[in-house]
Amino acid sequence: MGDGVQTDLREDGSGSACHASARRLSQRPNSTECAWLESSLSGPKQHYRAQETYFDCEFYIYGHKYQKDEKEMLPAGLHEFPFAFSLPPNLPPSFNSEKGFIGYMAVAILDRPAAANIVQKEGFSLHSILDLNMDSHANSTTSSSKAKNLCCFCCQTGPITLSARIPRRGFVPGEKIFVSAEADNVSARNTRRTRLLLLQERVLKEIVRGIIPPGESDMWENVAIVVPPLVPANVHLTCRLLRVQYRLDMILEPPLPSSDLRVSLPLIIGSVPLRNRFSSFLPPGETRKPTGLPGIKYKNYPSYWFGECMFGKEFLESQYERVTGMHEDYGPQYTALTPFAPNYICYTTGNNVDEEDR
């Protein structure tokens, strides 16, 4: 979201004046990096890597690349260098995961002819717009059910059954997903536990309940699970290497050695809520100014905010090295680690939740 970056670069110098060959700004690596392991019974694990670069540009905001003399002197003191650059269109949103990331950063480098360079790195977030109103499946109810018979010392006992339902598939960060489910145990043994999971490629949130005795049931009536700050599920439209998908899994764990009984409900996580849900969000107030998103012209659009990725900050340097296996060397002068986490469009729900949404 957005088509440019505008900011200032400052240098606070002290002591005598210094000759500066150039002050330049670059954006790198601004790319998708992903890596994963696959193993099979026929051979050792295989390590796969892929990279996709979206832009990697460099420009000088003071001095120039081929400066050979000492005509340009930068005196000691505080100096500001305003600059701006336009982002290419159709960039994928910022994203972090265990198997890959989409990252954007600016690197400011102060070239000094008689001393080590000074380097400063800063990450920034890009946002994508996924309008749930444009997806015909976002407002549809989804449900699933399964059953299996348990065996006890080669003798078959009664079945266990599991069913789950949600009122619709489309949600935005900050919304509550109301889950209704029923777990029945008609077998002769206790089940171990029942779990409700919100999943990306890993568990995002989890709700756990205990055993179900033989002949009894466990009813989940409108159990709420809040969608945390997440990237919209349209990453694959602008990134060829990554596809982000979400789902809710309900798992009934029977006694060992029986395998789990699992039902899955697909989700669509967007950045623009369904229009019939606008009234369920907090309206603009004194601290919330009414504002829309680029290309979105709906009336009575709810206010939004930017929430930090639920996995927290990670050092940009270690992230790049972890996924690619390569160390990016900016020289001996660069020792600082830069923590960064992308942020995503979020909403705050009020107390006026419709009954049909439960």
Instruction: Of 32-41, 108-117, 183-192, give the lowest mean pLDDT range.
Output: 32-41
Q: Which two tokens mark 241?
A: 């290497």
Does pLDDT of 245 surpass 80?
Answer: yes
pLDDT over 50 (residue 5): no
Average pLDDT over residues 285-289: 49
54 pLDDT above the threshold of 80: yes
Q: Above 50 in pLDDT, residue 33?
A: yes
Which residue shows structure tokens 């060959």? Answer: 21
Domain at 4-130+302-346, CATH from 3.40.30.10, 2.60.40.640, 3.40.50.10790, 2.130.10.10? 2.60.40.640
**Residue 19, pLDDT above cutoff 80:** no
pLDDT at 21: 38
**Cβ-Cβ contacts under 8 Å for 56 (sequence gap 6 or more):** 26, 27, 28, 29, 30, 31
Q: Please check whether the two domains, 4-130+302-346 and 132-276, share a CATH topology.
A: yes
* CATH number for the domain running over 132-276: 2.60.40.640
pLDDT for position 318: 75
The per-residue pLDDT for 332 is 53
Burial 149-166 (b: 16+ CB within 10 A, else e): ebeeeeeeeeebbbbbbb
Query: Does residue 224 register a pLDDT over 60?
Result: yes
Q: Render pLDDT for 95-130 as a digit per residue (tens, 0 to 9).
A: 988 778 888 888 888 877 777 778 888 889 999 999
**What is the pLDDT at residue 307?**
94
Cα–Cα distance, 224 to 258 (Å, whole number): 29
**Domain residue extents for the chain:** 4-130+302-346, 132-276
- CA-based torsion, 233, 284, 356, 165: positive or negative: positive
Res 152: pLDDT: 60
**Taking all residues of the chain, what is their mean pLDDT, rounded to a whole number?**
80
Three-class HEC string of 222-244: EEEEECCCCCCCCHHHCCCCCCC
Looking at residue 326, its pLDDT comes to 65
Q: Is the pLDDT of residue 170 over 70?
A: yes
pLDDT greater than 60 at residue 2: no
Instruction: Give the range with max mean pLDDT: 75-89, 204-218, 274-288, 338-352.
Output: 204-218
pLDDT of the residue at 15: 35
Q: In b/e form, how buried is each residue of 195-213, taking b as 16+ CB within 10 angstroms?
A: bbbbbbeeebeeeebeebe
Confidence class of residue 353 from pLDDT cuts 50, 70 and 90?
low
Please state the separation of Cα 10 from the chain's center in Å.
Answer: 31
Q: Which of 122, 109, 5 is nearest to 62 (CA)?
A: 109
Q: What is the pLDDT of residues 246-276, one digit of tens each?
A: 999 999 998 888 889 999 999 999 999 999 9
154: which 2 tokens?
């080669």
Quick one: average pLDDT of 321-337? 61
pLDDT of residue 3 exceeding 60, the answer is no
pLDDT at residue 157, rounded to an integer: 72
Neighbours of 99 (CB within 10 A): 15
pLDDT of residue 16: 32
The better pLDDT of the pair 9, 343 is held by 343
Distance CA 46, CA 33 (A): 17
